[in-house]
């Protein structure tokens, strides 16, 4: 079995994430993770990146990932979307089919603890609406800034 198969699968609500390269394994230069999104799952909240860039590379399925540099971005097999530091990442729309993509964060300041903490907040909602203030606090601790609600 390859190294990726031995890495922890982190559940975040309906999503699953597996880190392939953590910051400590790349001297802080990158963090690389796979994201598995089942059909019609809710995707991450709109946000911007503070201090790192993220590149998404589609492996399976299709999903709209919001906007990058003012243009719509879509993850599809063998396509790439990049978000620079700052207010550019939008919310992803629900996938019509299952999706799998790679995400590369550079530098590697973003790690598994973010996904574990968001997963804990979602799990504590017991199927009800998640605590958005708690999710926002987790995001800010890990270098993400939640986007303001639409129309604000």
DSSP 125: T
Assigned token pair, 90: 């939008």
Strand partners, 48: 145
pLDDT of residue 139: 92
Nearest CA to 61 among 105, 13, 93? Answer: 93
Are 109 and 28 a contacting pair, CB within 8 Å? yes
DSSP 20: E
Print pLDDT tens along the chain (152 aa).
344 445 899 999 888 999 999 999 999 999 999 999 888 777 667 778 888 888 888 888 776 665 444 444 445 555 555 555 444 444 455 556 778 888 999 999 889 999 999 999 999 988 788 899 999 999 999 988 887 766 65
Count structural domains, the chain. 1
94 located within any domain: yes
- For 19, residues 6+ apart whose C-beta sits below 8 A from its C-beta are 7, 8, 10, 31, 32, 33, 111, 112
pLDDT of residue 96: 64
48 located within any domain: yes
Q: How far is CA 66 from the centre of its chain?
A: 12
125 located within any domain: no
42 located within any domain: yes
pLDDT of residue 21: 96
pTM of the predicted model as reported, rounded to 2 decimal places: 0.78
Radius of gyration of the chain (CA): 15
Q: What's the CATH number where 28 sits?
A: 2.60.120.10
Q: How far is CA 141 from the centre of its chain?
A: 15
144 located within any domain: no
137 located within any domain: no
**Structural domain of residue 64, as residue ranges?**
3-110
């Amino acid at each position: 079995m390859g190294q990726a198969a031995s890495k922890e699968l982190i559940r975040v609500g309906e999503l699953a994430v597996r880190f392939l390269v953590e910051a400590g394994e790349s001297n802080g230069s990158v963090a690389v993770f796979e994201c598995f999104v089942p059909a019609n799952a809710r995707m991450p909240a709109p946000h911007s990146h503070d201090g790192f860039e993220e590149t998404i590379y589609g492996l399976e399925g299709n999903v709209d990932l919001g906007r990058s540099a003012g243009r719509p971005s879509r993850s599809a097999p063998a396509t790439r979307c990049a978000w620079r530091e700052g207010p550019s990442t939008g919310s992803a729309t629900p996938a019509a089919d299952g999706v799998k993509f790679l995400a590369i964060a550079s530098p590697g300041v973003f790690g598994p603890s973010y996904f574990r903490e968001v997963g804990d907040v979602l799990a504590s909602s017991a199927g009800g609406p998640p605590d958005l203030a708690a999710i926002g606090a987790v995001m800010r601790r890990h270098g993400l800034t939640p986007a303001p609600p639409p129309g604000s």
